[in-house]
Amino acid sequence: MYETIGIWVGAFFTLAIYSFLYKENPIYRLAEHLVVGISLGYTMAITYDITLKPRLIEPLLSGNHWILLVPAVLGILYITRFIPGIAWLSRYPIAFLMGTAMGVSFPLTLKTDVLRQLEAAMQPFYMSGMPWHEIFGNIVMIFGTLAALIYFFFSKPHKGLFFGTGSKIGIWVIMLGFGATFGFTVMGRISLLIGRIQYLLGDWLHLIE
Amino acid sequence: MKRTVPLMIVMVGGILMMVQYFIPHQYSQAVFTNYTQWAPIVGAFALILGVGSLTRVHSHKIRRKTKNWQYSWAVLIPLYGMPFLAIIWPQSLAGGMDSPSIFHFFFMHIQVPIQSTMFSLLAFYIASAAFRAFRAKSALATILLLAAVIVMIGQVPIGEIFGRWLPETGLWILRYPNLAAKRAIMLGVGFGILATNLKIIFGVERNWLGGAGK
Amino acid sequence: MSAVSKWEKMLNLDRRWIFLAIGIASIVPFLIGFGMPISTTAEVESIFDYVNGLDKDNAIFIGFDYAPGTQAENTPMGVAVLRHAFHNNVPVFITAYQPLGHGMALGALEYVTNPAIPGFYQSVSFEEWADLREAGITDKDELIASWESDGNALPEGAKGWVFEGRDFAMLGYAPVFSLVILGMTASIENQFPQDANGNPLIEMPMLREHKSLREVDLAFTTSGSSACRSWIVYGREKIGLPVAFGVTAVMATDYYPYIQSGQIIGQMGGLRGAAEYEVLLFENGITETTDKAFTGMDVQSAAHLLIILLIVMGNIAFFAGGFHKKTALKGRG
């Protein structure tokens, strides 16, 4: 019974959102506003229940972890954002989280997105037994990366053999990449629609399994 | 106090955590452990900013009776109703059919369908955009269009009807030229992130301070 | 009516006709059901092979790092890997990068353990097997033998037992999750003193055997945003944690560099990736049928063909009407 009512309500709101395709209307607007309230309300409940309660409140109440008052006070300072006169105090927790998170991520981002990528770009075109399309692919990959980098390098005019030709090849490679992304984007959007059709035809109307 | 102390916190915190990575000493590890335990607690309170702003905007709309003010109740009631339900009915947080509850119902049967359907609307708009805007106006646009069509057909089962070469060509585009373009972008973005991190840590970039209290 | 105005009329077609066409293309294949075969790719096979090589002595993380908006793509991926892990008795820690992902993770777990869904796993809650745990019975094979000798019979249609705390732990969401991943490289329990149901992690056999991410064999993240990168940045690059991606199609092309560099084991890209994993599960006898991702692929074919047709028609009208020589075309709707 609970599930059945749930599915009917879900189907109603699904159709309410699709009604926007024809015309904007009050039911759509209601659904649009509900989603904002529920998502933040859910986030509050979950954050309290599985973060603040076991990590802060229960250890503090047990009386052994007074040191946790430091992050608690720091966190509470966020409230000052809404109190004129002391709103600047809200910068403290922001500064703590932002500064430390950037420090922590610096060496790891350098490794992930720069060093490992450079390392992976330096590889032989050819190895014994490699099919021709892989050899050609490796050439495209290595010179393509270089050419695309040249295209994004704006400190020099895109003229001459190196910068001129390089940037021209670069934009071709980038366009191939963007084309692939567009193809995948279409696929992704259709997949989301498929999910809803499965819900309507399957879970709600039982027309499909 | 208003600007210098936050800037100092960012600089000291940033440098400390950066250096910590290279020092596997027990004191360094203790700092790391405490920090990773504290960060989620501080982060959890950041929710106050979102809840506070949303409440302010919508209560203002209701008070002033601005256009469509009635819908603001549809934001505020579940915003505070959901945590209230969770408090009076704690087991409902676990969700599931074993413990049906209004809390679970609101999430699973209202939030999930609405949000999923909103995203799926994009399928209709992308089809419309494909018809109206996707033109082979130049050689570069044609390349983009061809790559998109090959990948689109190659990724679905019907593509195999035209022969294995079509999905294989689609995969080749993904694995080589696409990879080259995305790696170049990744390197650029990576350097950008690193430069921004350093600018913030050393106080060159200060926009994050905002205007609160000057 | 002149030829030019005919093309112009075509280009200014009310977009609601296009919406209707997409709607029809998305419904009809479901009702007919072509069931076209899907071939698998190396990117997905590598994840399957890796998970297939794990057993009860290993452990994996599955991160439900997405909001409901992309559930149609992400949930089938999480469900497929969860089923694979349960089949091989691999303990699974379930997490969520964002709060709404917590609900998605609960939904996926419920789907795999729901007796109404074919091929389900019978879940045993942490409390229910407390006596056996206190008696020191935590090995999966011994646990099943003792549990069944206590008079518990596997329900009809169930694929096996899964014990909370032995086979899975629902850790759920935590704020600033990238730093939580970093913290788990030192200790999982420090980051999650309790699971989402309030059970203390320290009492869970799977935690005692896998205290930190260093003792975990894979993090599979099914993600609808760049959240998946955090598993590489803070897990893979910090301690060498093996990572695999299940990402929405929109993001999939961006992460090919991580595959080639070996930073991720493999990647499921969109619904197609999930469908491939379902096919691999089915072909290897791990499931008896394929699931929602596979059935959706017929519609995917039809919709792609329609969109390509729309692109071709749009271009024909554009060039045949001579609009490429003009600066602007009057648009409507």
What is the pLDDT, as a whole number, of residue B162? 87
- 3-state class (DSSP) for residue A74: helix
What is the pLDDT, as a whole number, of residue C199? 93
Between chains, do C270 and A188 touch, taking CB under 8 Å as contact? Answer: yes
What is the pLDDT, as a whole number, of residue B98? 55
- 3-state class (DSSP) for residue C2: coil
In whole angstroms, what is the distance from residue C245 CA to residue C258 CA? 10
Closest chain B residue to C295, measured at CA: B157
What is the pLDDT, as a whole number, of residue A187? 96
pLDDT band at residue B97 under the 50/70/90 scheme = very low
List the single best residue of C294, C301, C324, C332 to mutate versus B (max B Cβ within 10 A): C301
Tens of pLDDT, residue by residue over A48-78, are 998 999 999 999 999 888 999 999 999 999 9
Domain spans in chain A, listed from the N-terminal domain onward: 1-64, 80-122, 125-209
In whole angstroms, what is the distance from residue B29 CA to residue B23 CA? 8
> In Å, how far is B46's CA from the nearest CA of chain A?
6
Q: Which residues of B touch A185 (CB under 8 A)?
A: 126
Of B10, B74, B190, the CB nearest to A98: B10
In this model, does residue C332 exceed pLDDT 50? no
In this model, does residue C202 exceed pLDDT 50? yes
Cβ atoms of C100 and C68 within 8 Å: the answer is yes
- 3-state class (DSSP) for residue A123: coil
- Looking up tokens 């390509």 gives C308
For the stretch B182-211, what's the b/e string if a residue is b when 16 or more beta carbons lie within 10 angstroms of its beta carbon? bbbbbbeebeebbeebeebbebeeeeebee
- Average pLDDT (B155-176) is 93
Closest chain C residue to A22, measured at CA: C16
Q: Which residues of C touch B175 (CB under 8 A)?
A: 256, 260
Asked if the C-beta of B10 comes within 8 angstroms of chain A's C-beta atoms, the answer is yes
What element of type H or E holds B169?
A: helix B165-175
Tens of pLDDT, residue by residue over A91-143, are 999 999 999 999 999 999 999 999 999 999 998 989 999 999 999 999 999 99
Query: How far is Cα of residue A179 from the mean position of the Cα atoms in its chain?
Result: 21
Cβ atoms of C273 and C263 within 8 Å: the answer is no
In whole angstroms, what is the distance from residue C67 CA to residue C172 CA? 13
Angle between helices B71-88 and A26-47 (to 10 degrees): 30
Tens of pLDDT, residue by residue over C301-330, are 999 999 999 999 999 999 988 888 866 555
List the single best residue of A2, A42, A92, A199 to mutate versus B (max B Cβ within 10 A): A42
Between chains, do C303 and B97 touch, taking CB under 8 Å as contact? Answer: no
Between chains, do B131 and C72 touch, taking CB under 8 Å as contact? Answer: no
Domain spans in chain C, listed from the N-terminal domain onward: 1-32+301-333, 42-290
In whole angstroms, what is the distance from residue C38 CA to residue B155 CA? 9
What's the distance, Cα to Cα, between the start and end of chain C in Å?
22
Between chains, do B126 and A2 touch, taking CB under 8 Å as contact? Answer: no
DSSP secondary structure letters along C102-150: HHHHHHHHHHHT-TTSTT--EEE-TTTTHHHHHTT--SHHHHHHHHHHT
What is the pLDDT, as a whole number, of residue A137? 96
Tens of pLDDT, residue by residue over C227-269, are 999 999 999 999 999 999 999 999 999 999 999 999 999 999 9
Tens of pLDDT, residue by residue over B203-212, are 999 988 876 5
What is the pLDDT, as a whole number, of residue A113? 96
Between chains, do C69 and B107 touch, taking CB under 8 Å as contact? Answer: no
